[in-house]
Amino acid sequence: MQNITTEQARAIPTPPIAVRAVLATSKTTLTVERWLITGLMFLLTFLILLNIVTRYSGASLYWVDESAVYSVVWLTFIGGSAMTRLRMDFAVEMLTDKLSASYKKIAKITAGLGIAIFSIALAWMCLLWFDPIGFAQAGFEPKAFAAKSFNFLYTERTQTLNWPSWAVYLIIPIFSITMVIHSVANLLEDMGFAQVSKFKEFGLNNAESIN
């Protein structure tokens, strides 16, 4: 992508405060995700090495496998959210490559709108699933909440770690919220309300160089 000239930079208006707020929130979220991805990758590597050492020494730890699985799950969701903002998600361009520039923009905005709608729908489903209001009305008692709603989310525990299952599943509503933030930020940029963000900390010149 060509560098923006001084005249072009002057021609681009300052984004409204609401747009700047969304972009700033997305940038902060992406920074947190970057650190979490790095930490989870180190954790996963440590767990795999620990599993190998303990197995070969004849003193295997039964909880390591489950910990590694949950690390991969969290890493996948967090990485997927970050990839959305970095525009590293998969794209089939067999049709859009043959379109004019204006229709390409329309197709890009339509795709971004679809991601935003999906993210909002997922967040709504997570709200119904976790049902924090119903759980609070049950006095934060898992058994009472399960008996009233037949939702056993807060009574289940993991097999070996014996953690509450809801703590592990919490990554899904977190993912839905961050996806909403990132997809709206991408959509605002695609619609021309702001310049396409640059992510030098990820080794990327700009988002357009990817997708």
Please provide the size of the chain in residues: 211
What is the pTM for the complete model shown? 0.85
The upper half-sphere exposure of residue 118, i.e. CA atoms within 13 Å in the direction of its Cβ, equals: 12
pLDDT score recorded for residue 12: 59
Q: Using 50, 70 and 90 to split pLDDT, how confident is the model at 205?
A: very low
The Cα–Cα gap between 93 and 144 comes to 52
CA 123 to centroid of chain Cα atoms: 12
pLDDT of 16 over the 70 cut: yes
Q: pLDDT digit string (tens) for 101-119?
A: 888 889 889 999 999 999 9
pLDDT of 68 over the 80 cut: yes
% of the chain exceeding 70 in pLDDT: 89
pLDDT of 211 over the 70 cut: no
The Cα–Cα gap between 133 and 21 comes to 28
Distances (CA, A) of 207 to 7, 188, 210: 22, 13, 6
Cβ–Cβ < 8 Å for 65, 51: yes
Q: Give the DSSP per-residue string, 145-210.
A: HHHHH---TTT-B-SSS--BHHHHHTHHHHHHHHHHHHHHHHHHHHTTSSPPP-BGGGTBS-GGGT
Where do the structural domains in the chain lie, given as residue ranges?
Answer: 16-90+100-198
CB atoms within 10 A of CB 53: 12
Nearest Cα neighbor of 109 from 192, 23, 21, 3 is 192
